[in-house]
Each structure stands twice: as C-alpha cells, then as structure tokens.
C-alpha cells in the first residue's frame, strides 16, 4: 500500500463523507418537519424529539450508504479523470487493479461496518426510537413485553394489563387480565375478561369478572357482560408493534426466532426473507462501488465529469436497484420466491452488470 493507494483513499473518503452527510441531513430535515406537527400535538419535549431522530440515524445511514457510495464513486473517478490524473497514472504504468483497489478496500470496510450495524446496533436503536415515540412523545402505555401472543402493559393509575393474544388486525384482544395496585403497590383489584374489542374509538371488555380486595382481606366478586377499558392504544399501534417486531431483533435473535418457528412447524417465510434481506443489503455498497468505478473508468480520456451528471447517474441506478430489490422482497414474503433468492436477486443482477462493465473498461 503505497502513496498512490492512500492518496486515492483520502480522495474517495472525502467525497463519500460529504455525500453521506448531505443525504442523511436532507432525510432528517424532511422527516423532522413531516413529524413535527404530530409531535407538537402531544406537547413533546425537544430533548425527546432530538433523541428520537438521533436513534434513527443508524437505520437511515444503513439505507442511504449504497446510494452515497455509488454517487461518491462516480464523482471521485470522474474528478480524477477530469484532472487528467488517471491519464497520468496510465502513463506511469499504474494498472487498473491499483486504481480500483483503494475503492474496493473502502467498500469492503463499509460492508463489515454495515453487517455490524444491521446485526446489533440498528435493531436496538429502532427499538429505542419506537419507545421514545410511543411512550415519551405520544404518552402511551409502555409495552413491558410484546409479541402477538403475549402482551404486558404498564398503564395509568398503578395498573398492569396482560393480554394472551392480539389479533393481526389489532382490534381484538383475547384473555385479558388487569391488575390494579394501590399506593403501596398491593393488589387491590383483579379483573379478568374473555377479551376486549375496539369500536367507535374506544375499548371495551366483555364477559368480565371483577374481584375487589377489601381492607379486611375479603373479596367481592362482580360479573359483568361489558366494561369500558381506559386504554389509549389504538389498533394501529398494536399492528405497528407487531409488524416492527423483526426489525427490533438482532440477527442472532431473529435466527433463534426462525428456528423456534420451524420447531413449531409454523411459516417462517416472512422472517427468513427479512433475515437475508438485511445480510444481502450490507453487500450492496461493494457492488455499487464496482459499478460506479466501472462507469467512471469507461469515460477515461474525457473531461465531462460534473456533480450534476454524477448525481443523475446515481439517482437512476439507485432507483432501478430499489425497484428490483423491492420486487424481490415482495415476492419472497408472498412465498413466490425462496427467501434467499428473493433477498439476493437484485444484488446478483447488479453484480453481473457491474462485472460486465468493469471487463469492458479499456484502461
């Protein structure tokens, strides 16, 4: 690794940092103003809002890095070409391998970082962001534990609620148990119900048995057909929690969950597709680097490089990749394609195109 290697690395990293910072900033500004009105409606504190967006940065960066890498590769090679530096390298006998190696080394490092982010950091950050949005900003009950078959909630007035199962639509709760505590956190009442339904903007329990524990230790039992349930959560909140569950799992937890579903002979297609999607996406920057460098080197000898042209090419290629990848993931989750094939199909297609362009370079 000589002087030329580190010169190209510094040149590339400077442009990449500028591209990624700009893209993340634009995304955050748009997202901030989009959510600002909703947050202010709940009298959210500035610290909570800032912490929410801070926790979203790892996920946003993960999604935007391939676009930033492609744009930076196009611009970096284009500027080297425009300044006749690539021509100078060729005249000094520097081969194409030595020119592309610094770009690939940076892309490989980015891939390793993205694997770490998607395996551990992003799920934890997303879970924290969801907690801040739901509990601290929207002032809704905190989910102490949640899956579609086991929900624990800490609700107002010293009360805990357990739900055995939540319907996928989020409008029906099955086997509800409500524990009411007094100021000394002693059980004062126990309410059990066959279920709860959401209708006309409110929750109501049905087939209710209410047990009130009196100071002398006796228990008063009351049976009711229905009973209002003061719960600020909406079906959309429950659907969101359930839908985001795989996104809040580390790759290790997701793999364990998939194995558990297999043992229970349940459908694992959705979770397998999500697992391989996260792994495959971490390798996209490497593919985009090969593609960007190849397109840039194909223009060797010209002086047509410009920021506008590089951004335009990056936008077009990124849109094509996004459309192909989204179609593959949709087919994978529907069962039309194997999860592994659905997650990797866009990467394989674009890698073939990138390699083909690279082989066409006349250096």
Residue by residue, what is the 3-state secondary structure of 26-80? Answer: HHHHHHHHHHHHHHHHCCCCHHHHHHHHHHHHHHHHHHHHHHHHHHHHHHHHHHH
pLDDT digits (tens, 9 = 90+) for 165-195: 887 677 888 888 988 888 777 888 888 999 9
H-run or E-run covering 155: strand 150-155
> Whole-angstrom Cα distance, residue 234 to residue 202?
8
Task: Band the pLDDT of 62: cuts 50, 70, 90.
Answer: very high
> Whole-angstrom Cα distance, residue 42 to residue 35?
11
Instruction: Kindly tell me if the per-residue pLDDT of 144 is higher than 50.
Output: no
Higher pLDDT, 340 or 83: 340
- What are 69's two structure tokens? 């890498």
> Whole-angstrom Cα distance, residue 327 to residue 346?
9
Lowest mean pLDDT among 23-37, 119-133, 134-148, 197-211: 134-148
Span 14-34, mean pLDDT?
Answer: 94
Instruction: Kindly tell me if the per-residue pLDDT of 250 is higher than 50.
Output: yes
Lowest mean pLDDT among 89-103, 211-225, 238-252, 258-272: 238-252
Q: Are 15 and 80 in contact (CB under 8 A)?
A: no
pLDDT digits (tens, 9 = 90+) for 82-136: 888 887 888 888 888 888 999 999 999 999 999 999 999 999 898 889 888 888 8
Residue with tokens 């529907």: 334
Q: Are 269 and 335 in contact (CB under 8 A)?
A: yes
Question: In the sheet that 142-147 helps form, which strands lie side by side, from edge to edge?
Answer: 142-147, 150-155, 159-166, 172-181, 187-199, 202-213, 219-229
């Amino acid at each position: 690794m000589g002087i030329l290697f580190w010169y190209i690395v510094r040149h590339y990293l400077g442009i990449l940092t500028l591209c990624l910072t700009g893209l993340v900033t634009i995304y955050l500004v748009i997202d901030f103003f989009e959510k600002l009105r909703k947050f202010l409606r709940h009298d959210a504190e500035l610290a909570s809002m800032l912490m929410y967006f801070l926790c979203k940065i790892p996920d946003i960066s993960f999604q935007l890095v391939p676009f930033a890498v492609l744009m930076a590769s196009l611009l970096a090679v284009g500027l080297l070409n425009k300044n006749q530096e690539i021509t100078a390298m060729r005249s000094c006998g520097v081969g194409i391998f030595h020119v592309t190696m610094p770009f690939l080394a940076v892309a490989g490092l980015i891939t390793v970082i993205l694997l770490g982010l998607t395996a551990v950091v992003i799920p934890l950050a997303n879970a924290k962001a969801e907690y801040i949005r739901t509990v601290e900003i929207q002032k809704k009950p905190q989910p102490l534990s949640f899956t579609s078959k086991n929900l624990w909630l800490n609700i107002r007035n010293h009360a805990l609620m357990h739900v055995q199962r939540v319907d996928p639509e989020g409008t029906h709760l099955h086997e509800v148990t409500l524990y009411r505590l007094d100021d000394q956190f002693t059980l004062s009442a126990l309410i059990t119900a066959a279920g709860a339904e959401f209708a006309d903007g409110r929750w109501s329990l049905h087939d209710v048995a209410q047990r009130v524990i009196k100071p002398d230790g006796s228990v008063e039992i009351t049976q009711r057909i229905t009973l209002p349930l003061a719960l600020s959560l909406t079906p959309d909140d429950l659907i969101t929690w359930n839908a985001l569950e795989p996104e809040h799992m580390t790759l290790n937890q997701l793999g364990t969950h998939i194995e558990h579903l297999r043992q229970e002979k349940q459908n694992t297609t959705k979770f397998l597709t999500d697992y391989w999607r996260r792994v495959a996406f971490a390798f996209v920057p490497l593919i985009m680097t090969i593609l960007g460098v190849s397109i840039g080197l194909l223009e060797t000898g010209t002086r047509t490089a410009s920021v506008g042209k590089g951004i335009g090419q990056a936008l077009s290629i990124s849109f094509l990749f996004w459309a192909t990848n989204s179609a593959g993931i949709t087919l994978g989750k529907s069962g039309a394609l194997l999860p592994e094939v659905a997650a990797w199909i866009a990467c394989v297609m674009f890698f073939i195109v990138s390699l083909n362009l690279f082989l066409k370079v006349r250096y």
